[in-house]
Structure 1
Amino acid sequence: MHVNHAAGADPADSISFDDFLKVDIRVGTIVEAEAFPEARKPAFKLRIDFGAPIGIKRSSAQITERHRLEDLVGTQVLAIVNFPPRQIGPVRSEVLTLGVPDENGHVVLLRPDQGVPDGGRLF
Structure 2
Amino acid sequence: MTTTITWEEFERVDLRSGTIIKVDTFPRAKKPAYKIWADFGSDIGVLQTSAQITVHYTPESLLGRTIVGCVNLSEKNIAGFLSQFLLVGFADANGSICLIAADPKVPNGQKML
The counterpart of 1:49, out of the listed 21, 36, 39, is: 39
Instruction: Output one character per residue of 1:69-90: Cα deviation in whole Å (capped at 9) or x when no partner.
Output: 1111100100100011000012
Q: How many residues align?
A: 113
**Cα root mean square deviation, aligned:** 0.7
Opposite residue 6 of structure 2, the aligned amino acid is S
SS at match of 1:108: strand
Specify the SS of the correspondent of 1:79.
strand
Q: TM-score, normalised by structure 2?
A: 0.97
* CA deviations over 1:10-67 (Å, ceiling 9, x no partner): x420000110000000000000011001100110000000011100000101100111
- Answer yes or no: is 1:92 the counterpart of 2:76: no
Match of 1:76? Answer: 66
- Once residues 2 and 58 of structure 2 are traced to their aligned partners in structure 1, the CA distance between those partners, rounded to angstroms, is 31
Q: What is the alpha-carbon distance in structure 1 between the residues aligned to residue 36 and residue 7 of structure 2?
A: 30
For residue 112 of structure 1, report the CA deviation from its aligned partner.
Answer: 1.0
| Identity rate, percent | 37
C-alpha distance in 1 between matches for 2:110 and 2:30: 32
Match of 2:105 in 1: 115
Gaps of 5+ in 2: none
Aligned equivalents of 2:71 and 2:87: distance in 1?
Answer: 9
Question: In the alignment, which residue of structure 2 is the partner of 1:40?
Answer: 30
Q: Distance in 2 between matches of 1:61 and 1:111?
A: 15
Give yes or no for the alignment of 1:23 onto 2:13. yes
3-state SS of 1:18 partner: helix
Distance 1:101 1:67 in 2: 13
**Local SS of the residue matching 1:26:** strand
CA distance in 1, matches of 2:94, 2:68: 22
